[in-house]
A = this chain, B = another copy of it.
Amino acid sequence: MTLLEGGVCAPQGFKAAGVVAQIKNLRSTKKDCALIASDTVATCAGTFTTNKLKAPPASWTEGVCIRGTMQALFINSGNANACTGSRGMEDAKATAEKIAKGFGASITEVGVLSTGVIGVPLPMDRIANGVDACIASLASDGHLAAAEAIMTTDTIPKEYALEVALSSGTIRMGAIAKGSGMIAPNMATMISVITTDAAIDASLLHTTLKEVVNQTYNCICIDNDMSTSDAVVVMANGVSGVCIEEHTPDYETFKAALLEISTHMAHALVRDGEGATKFIEINVTGAQNDTDAKAIARSIAHSQLCKTAFFGQDPNWGRIACAAGYADADFDAGYLSVSIEGLEVVHEGLPTVYDEADAAALMQLDDIHVDVCVGTDAGKATFWTCDLSHDYVTINADYRT
């Protein structure tokens, strides 16, 4: 796999745009409408939030993904179009319709997603302007503008692209994502759009995406709050001429590339987590099964006490052990071992003899790996999180006003 520039426009036959349409309010000067479009109809797959207050645009786009083909995906930031009742779905559909007309596509092949404030109807006049401006400026170098337009409290745009050599030719895969708040696992945890010029059946794409999302976007947390708008959407337009069939080495390589790109984007979300100063990887091994391992890893990753200890650069393994201990998983505390950056601080339930200064020095790192072993079985899982800082509180005490 080779790294490429170009984000979602790196695969052949994709264009993107990002424009300012003042969706949040008339003082807003940031890009807030994005369009990602394929020259030809693409197969698609998506995973969406499981929040009962799922926003109407997420429901609309889930419908498009169930049908399995998509040509364009419009995303606005600044307004989530969530808790907006029947009007919310009418607005989502009207947005898709306007794009379909302007772009010359079928309305059932246009996805729409929204992210931002909950409970305020979309300003449809400004959305219409945003749609027009996006269609007018669609270009094969529009990827960064699109990545910028979907940002909310993100501090940096997130994009990534790969080239992958397969037996029958070369394909490309690109992605953009936004995140940083209302990030919790066990669903598609933010908005991410992945494009590829491979040809792949929609249902195989869906199976593959679900498996990959479960190991990547569903293994991160920033603040444990599951948003109403989360979505990961993949569009595969087949322009490369390379066809991905199940049970082939090329399929495995395709899946590995999707895993690589999703891992990269999931990590990028955590690194840019609201107020984050550190990137923490929690590896759990020795559990009775992978589900138990994930529960333990998630419990540590969610713990406010662990996250503030990481912020304070305090090698407080007691909090890590404690969070493992209340996870919904079965293990014997007498087997618990904990290492911070390779320094074993707990061995089989008891603190080791180590130099506190060594442990404190390791906690100064920006990236910290915590290994937790809970037994001798094969269950394992990895989870990624960030620390909980003063800036998280500041950002979220002030977000709306």
Beta-carbon contacts under 8 Å, A288-307 to B: 302-305
Interfacial chain B residues near A304, Cβ < 8 Å = 223-225, 304, 388, 392, 396
- When the two chains form their complex, are residues B305 and A223 in contact, meaning their CB atoms are under 8 A apart? yes
Q: Give the shortest distance, in Å, between A357 (CB) and chain B (any CB).
A: 12
Q: Mark A373-398, 1 if CB is under 8 A from B, else 0.
A: 00000000000000011101110111
Q: Mark A80-115, 1 if CB is under 8 A from B, else 0.
A: 101111000000000000000000000000000000
Q: Give the shortest distance, in Å, between A186 (CB) and chain B (any CB).
A: 9
Q: How many copies does the complex hold?
A: 2
Q: Is A311 an interface residue (CB 8 A)?
A: yes
Surface stretch bound by B, among A12-20, A242-250, A316-324: A316-324
- When the two chains form their complex, are residues B85 and A326 in contact, meaning their CB atoms are under 8 A apart? no
- When the two chains form their complex, are residues A399 and B314 in contact, meaning their CB atoms are under 8 A apart? yes
Q: Is A118 an interface residue (CB 8 A)?
A: yes
Q: Which of B53, B84, B314, B396 contacts A322 (CB 8 A)?
A: B53
Give A294 to B338 CA distance when docked, in angstroms. 34
Known: A225-B303, A351-B83. A393 touches B389 (CB 8 A): yes
Q: Is A259 an interface residue (CB 8 A)?
A: no
- When the two chains form their complex, are residues B308 and A51 in contact, meaning their CB atoms are under 8 A apart? no
Q: Mark A196-213, 1 if CB is under 8 A from B, else 0.
A: 000000000000000000
Interfacial chain B residues near A227, Cβ < 8 Å = 322
Q: Give the shortest distance, in Å, between A329 (CB) and chain B (any CB).
A: 9
- When the two chains form their complex, are residues A321 and B118 in contact, meaning their CB atoms are under 8 A apart? yes
- When the two chains form their complex, are residues A346 and B311 in contact, meaning their CB atoms are under 8 A apart? no
Q: Which of B83, B184, B308, B346 contacts A321 (CB 8 A)?
A: B83
Give A399 to B303 CA distance when docked, in angstroms. 15
Give A50 to B333 CA distance when docked, in angstroms. 13
Q: Is A127 an interface residue (CB 8 A)?
A: no
Interfacial chain B residues near A302, Cβ < 8 Å = 224
Q: Which of B82, B119, B181, B322 contacts A51 (CB 8 A)?
A: B322
Beta-carbon contacts under 8 Å, A237-261 to B: none
Known: A118-B318, A304-B223. A184 touches B388 (CB 8 A): no
Interfacial chain B residues near A393, Cβ < 8 Å = 308, 311, 388-390, 392-393
- When the two chains form their complex, are residues A83 and B225 in contact, meaning their CB atoms are under 8 A apart? no
Interfacial chain B residues near A397, Cβ < 8 Å = 308-309, 311-312, 314
Q: Is A228 an interface residue (CB 8 A)?
A: yes
Q: Which of A117, A223, A331 has the most CB of B within 10 A?
A: A223
- When the two chains form their complex, are residues A308 and B396 in contact, meaning their CB atoms are under 8 A apart? yes
Known: A312-B396, A336-B53. A85 touches B324 (CB 8 A): no
List the B residue with the shortest CB-CB distance to A327.
B52
Q: Which of B53, B325, B336 contacts A333 (CB 8 A)?
A: B53
Q: Is A21 an interface residue (CB 8 A)?
A: no
Which residues of A are interface residues toward B (Cβ below 8 A)?
50-54, 80, 82-85, 117-120, 181-182, 184, 223-228, 302-305, 308-309, 311-312, 314, 316-319, 321-326, 331, 333, 336, 346, 349-351, 388-390, 392-394, 396-401
Question: Can you spell out 15 A-B residue pairs with CB atoms less than 8 angstroms apart?
Answer: A52-B331, A53-B336, A83-B318, A119-B318, A119-B321, A120-B351, A182-B322, A224-B304, A304-B392, A308-B392, A308-B393, A308-B396, A308-B397, A389-B393, A390-B393
